[in-house]
Amino acid sequence: ARAIEALQALAPPLPVRSLRAARTSTALGFARTCYDHLAGELAVALAAALVDRGVIAALEPGVVGTLLQPRHEMLALLGVGAAPVAGRRPVVRGCLDWTQRVPHLAGGLGALVLTGVTRQGWIVPTAHSRAVRLTDEGRQALTEAALFSDGLLVA
C-alpha cells in the first residue's frame, strides 16, 4: 500500500473531461475515505486541528506518529470514546493525501475518527464513490467547535 501511495504522489492528476468527472473530482478532493480513514481537504484540516491542539504530534507521510493526549475533549467531540491501544497497527500514522499533497490521519485513531463522525451523522457516503458528504449537522458542529475556518466548510 505504501508503494502505491508513493507512486500516486508522483503521478500527475488525470484531466477532467466531463461535468460528472468534475463533480466527482471536487467531491473526492474535499472528503473521501482512504482505506478505513478519512481523506481529502476535510481530513487534512482535521489532522492540522489535532496537531494545533496538541492531541497528536505533527504527521509525516508513511511514518508512525504519536498520540499526545488520548483523553482530549476534541477526540470526544469527534466520537472517539477511547483511544486505540498500540498493537500490530500504529495508533497514529501519517498518510499522504493525494489531493492535498500533505498527510492526513491514518492508523487506529484515524479509523476511530471516521467511525465517530459517521456514527454522529456528520458525514455520509455518496453512491458509487469513495467520496463522503459533510452534512449540515456536521458542518454546524465543526463550526461551533471552531475546528475549521468558514472557508473550508464551504465545499
Backbone angles phi, psi at 80, to 5 degrees: -90, 110
Structural domains of the chain, count:
1
**Kind and range of the H or E element at 23?**
helix 19-30
**Kind and range of the H or E element at 82?**
none
* pLDDT digit string (tens) for the chain, length 155 residues: 566 555 555 566 656 565 555 455 566 889 999 999 999 999 999 999 999 999 999 999 999 999 999 999 999 999 998 878 778 899 999 999 988 899 999 999 999 999 999 999 999 999 888 999 999 999 999 988 887 665 555 33
Q: Which residues pair with 137 in a beta bridge?
A: none
Q: Which residues pair with 20 in a beta bridge?
A: none
Query: Please, are residues 31 and 133 in contact by the beta-carbon 8 Å criterion?
Result: yes
- Residue 26: the pLDDT is 64
In terms of Cβ atoms closer than 10 Å to its own Cβ (0-12, 13-18, 19+), residue 100 is middle
Cell of 28: 473526492
Range of the domain at 103: 2-154
- Residue 12: the pLDDT is 60
Q: What is this structure's pTM?
A: 0.83
- Residue 10: the pLDDT is 56
